[in-house]
């Protein structure tokens, strides 16, 4: 598989795996699916928090296999020995600490259940700006954060066909207790929910989030295996429905497998490769954009166009094996995988944080301008200096940084930018970068932060609506979740990356249109 390109002509990627025969379709194409409820039914966001919200911890286990057995026994006990809760709705997390650290990708590779999700935290960047005070408002006890999280099955999912709204956000948040920090909804939002969805993205809707039934948390020195039970009688999903489906999913859970996290594990031959748009069409779109930017009316200040590359290969590429390769190379980046039942997998390795919220504190970043890394230390230094001193790249970067700062100032009381411009060096490319910190007035402003910061001017342009309309008119493929927010929501915390450097992996007959 070719390495990701730093060319301005190819920021988007799609890989479509074509089986050579029925026996080489691969594990992921035959995965089983679980049932659950859609928490975004009409009016769900107005019903307030679910009645029961708790986390139950079982004794620690020495290995994943032992943890699976303990969870199965605990869930069986809920079914056979205990009366169902009197409450009409609730969410309960049952977790087993594991005394050894186990790779979450290896655990995910062993599973055969859809939907599935994966999200890795990014290591804190040096010299991140700080605000006075901790911003938590209540002095909550610190809890170790996962390094990576993998999940399968659906305790409750959230999917809609209309643009993601405040009502949808409230419908998700009612299942996410503030005092159960590891109960999270993982997913993604379309880049442009007002545009028509192509067939390969139809199972995602305009947004798709899931609270996994079974979840593996990889920590710094240990691990946690957990199950989540969610029910709501008003959504026609009872306690008995939830426990029965969870038992079914737990019977399919395997401990772990070994993933070769190197390029050799993805050796395959490219049968065909198609770029959309073509180079000639790309040049015409760029010329049109430049004409508008330089024109007297100046409807556009900046616009970012994308290209889709579709690879058809002779063997089926397993999304989790690709994820393992990305994780091996993904320094200072977010690795993610989202796959609804029956859908292709959205997999990526994004270096760009959209924002992170913890209590009232917000962090975000501006990332723009790109150069390759040098082959030698001296060459790399010179390329970095050229990037720092380029007037063109400085204009582009300043637009992005100032736009994010201005958007934060609309919602937040305090915004700090530091450093104002620096180099972010990744394994293959380097960017101009600035880090921002802010404080929101109320935790309910989280939706406004998400709604305001997306789309980032680094993947759309400025002014936002004019740039998005230009993209809608000129791009002849559906971006889907590409360049949209991808990450997770929790009760007191959330984190989203910008869904770039990504691929949609599916079978040819599921992706007839190009992306």
> pLDDT by residue (tens digit) across 64-92?
999 999 999 999 998 887 678 889 999 99
Q: What angle do CA 97, 74, 221 make, to 5 degrees?
A: 5
Within 8 A by CB and 6+ apart from 378, the residues are none
Joined tokens for residue 152: 């399968």
| Distance of alpha carbon 389 from the chain centroid | 33
CATH at residue 484: 3.60.120.10
* pLDDT tens figures, 149-161: 999 999 999 999 9
Check residue 259 and give its pLDDT. Answer: 60
Q: Which of 114, 107, 92 is nearest to 243 (CA)?
A: 92
Q: Which of 259, 300, 246 is nearest to 105 (CA)?
A: 259
Joined tokens for residue 224: 């946690």
Check residue 401 and give its pLDDT. Answer: 96
Do residues 413 and 441 lie in contact, with contact meaning Cβ atoms separated by under 8 Å?
Answer: yes
Supply the pTM of this predicted model. 0.90
What value does the mean pLDDT take over residues 205-221? 97
* pLDDT above 50 (res 443): yes
* pLDDT above 90 (res 7): no
Residue 344 lies in a domain: no
pLDDT bin (cut points 50, 70, 90) of residue 323 is very high
What value does the mean pLDDT take over residues 103-123? 93
Check residue 134 and give its pLDDT. Answer: 55
* pLDDT above 90 (res 125): no
Q: Is 249 exposed, middle or buried (0-12, 13-18, 19+ CB in 10 A)?
A: buried
Instruction: Report the distance separating Cα 148 and Cα 224, nearest Å.
Output: 11
* pLDDT above 80 (res 266): no
Q: What is the DSSP string of 62-100?
A: SSHHHHHHHHHHHHHHHHHTSPPPSSSEEEEEEEEEESS
Host domain of residue 310 = 270-314+351-497
Residue 244 lies in a domain: no
Residue 308 lies in a domain: yes
* pLDDT above 80 (res 2): no
- For the chain, how many helices (H) and strands (E)? 10, 26
Strand partners, 358: 361, 493
Residue 125 lies in a domain: no
* pLDDT above 50 (res 405): yes
Residue 355 lies in a domain: yes
Phi-psi region of 272 (alpha: psi -120 to 50; beta: other; left: phi over 0): beta
Do residues 222 and 100 lie in contact, with contact meaning Cβ atoms separated by under 8 Å?
Answer: yes
What value does the mean pLDDT take over residues 31-51? 81
Instruction: Tell me which of 259-268, 465-474, 491-500 is least confident.
Output: 259-268
* pLDDT above 70 (res 403): yes
Check residue 265 and give its pLDDT. Answer: 58
pLDDT bin (cut points 50, 70, 90) of residue 144 is confident
Check residue 122 and give its pLDDT. Answer: 87
pLDDT bin (cut points 50, 70, 90) of residue 4 is very low
Residue 342: CB atoms within 10 A of its CB come to: 11
* pLDDT above 80 (res 349): yes
Residue 439 lies in a domain: yes
Q: Which of 11, 117, 10, 122 is nearest to 353 (CA)?
A: 122
Percent of the chain with pLDDT over 90: 73
* Site of tokens 């409807």: 299
* pLDDT above 80 (res 9): no
Total domains in the fold of the chain: 1
Do residues 158 and 39 lie in contact, with contact meaning Cβ atoms separated by under 8 Å?
Answer: yes
Residue 25 lies in a domain: no
* pLDDT above 60 (res 382): yes
N- to C-terminal Cα distance for the chain?
17
Check residue 137 and give its pLDDT. Answer: 53
Q: Which of 16, 110, 26, 76 is nearest to 312 (CA)?
A: 16
* pLDDT above 50 (res 1): no
* pLDDT above 70 (res 25): no
Residue 358 lies in a domain: yes
Check residue 289 and give its pLDDT. Answer: 93
Q: Which of 209, 215, 219 is nearest to 229 (CA)?
A: 215
What value does the mean pLDDT take over residues 402-426? 94
Check residue 140 and give its pLDDT. Answer: 45
* pLDDT above 90 (res 305): yes
What value does the mean pLDDT take over residues 374-378? 95
Average pLDDT, the chain: 87
Strands 345-350 and 185-189 come out as unpaired
What value does the mean pLDDT take over residues 345-364? 96
pLDDT bin (cut points 50, 70, 90) of residue 514 is very low
């Amino acid at each position: 598989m070719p390495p990701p390109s730093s060319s301005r002509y190819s920021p988007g990627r799609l890989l479509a795996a074509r089986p050579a025969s029925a026996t080489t379709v691969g594990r992921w194409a035959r995965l089983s699916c679980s049932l659950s409820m859609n928490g975004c039914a009409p009016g769900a966001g107005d019903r307030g928090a679910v009645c029961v919200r708790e986390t139950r911890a079982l004794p620690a286990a020495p290995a994943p296999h032992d943890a699976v057995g303990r969870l199965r026994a605990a869930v069986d006990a809920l079914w056979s020995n205990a009366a169902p809760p009197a409450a009409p709705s609730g969410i309960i997390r049952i977790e087993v600490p594991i005394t050894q650290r186990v790779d979450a990708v290896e655990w995910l590779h062993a599973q055969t259940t859809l939907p599935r999700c994966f999200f890795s935290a990014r290591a804190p960047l040096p010299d991140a700006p700080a605000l006075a005070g901790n911003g938590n408002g209540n002095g909550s006890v610190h809890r170790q954060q996962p390094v990576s999280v993998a999940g399968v099955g659906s305790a409750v999912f959230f999917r809609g066909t209309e643009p993601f709204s405040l009502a949808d956000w409230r419908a998700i948040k009612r299942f996410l207790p503030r005092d159960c920090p590891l109960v999270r909804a993982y997913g993604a939002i379309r880049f442009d929910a007002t545009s028509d969805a192509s067939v390969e993205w139809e199972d995602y809707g305009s947004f798709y989030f899931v609270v996994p039934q079974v979840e593996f948390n990889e920590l710094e020195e240990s691990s946690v295996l957990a199950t989540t039970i969610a029910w709501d009688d008003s959504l026609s999903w009872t306690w008995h429905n939830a426990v029965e489906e969870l038992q079914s999913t737990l019977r399919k859970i395997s401990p772990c497998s070994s993933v070769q996290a190197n390029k050799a594990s993805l050796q395959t031959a490219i049968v065909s490769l198609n770029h959309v748009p073509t180079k000639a069409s790309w040049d015409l779109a760029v010329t049109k954009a430049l004409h508008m930017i330089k024109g007297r009316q100046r409807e556009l200040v900046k616009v970012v166009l994308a290209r889709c590359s579709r690879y058809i290969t002779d063997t089926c590429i397993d999304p989790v094996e690709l994820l393992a390769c990305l994780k091996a190379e993904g320094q200072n980046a977010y690795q993610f995988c989202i796959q609804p039942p029956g859908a292709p997998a959205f997999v990526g390795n994004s270096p760009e944080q959209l924002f992170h919220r913890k209590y009232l504190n917000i962090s975000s970043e501006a990332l723009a301008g790109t150069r390759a890394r040098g082959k030698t230390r001296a060459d790399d230094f010179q390329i970095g200096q050229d990037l720092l001193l380029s007037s063109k790249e400085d204009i582009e970067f300043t637009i992005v940084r100032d736009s994010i700062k201005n958007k934060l100032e609309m919602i937040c009381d305090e915004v700090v930018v530091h450093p104002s411009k620096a180099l972010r060096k990744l394994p293959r490319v380097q960017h101009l970068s600035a880090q921002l910190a802010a404080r929101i007035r109320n935790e309910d402003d989280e939706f406004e932060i998400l709604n305001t910061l997306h789309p980032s001017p680094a993947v759309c342009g400025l002014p936002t609506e004019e740039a998005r309309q230009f993209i809608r008119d000129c791009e002849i493929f559906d971006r889907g979740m590409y360049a949209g927010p991808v990450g997770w929501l929790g009760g007191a915390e959330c984190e989203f990356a910008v869904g770039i450097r990504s691929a949609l992996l599916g079978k040819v007959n599921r992706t007839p249109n190009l992306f």
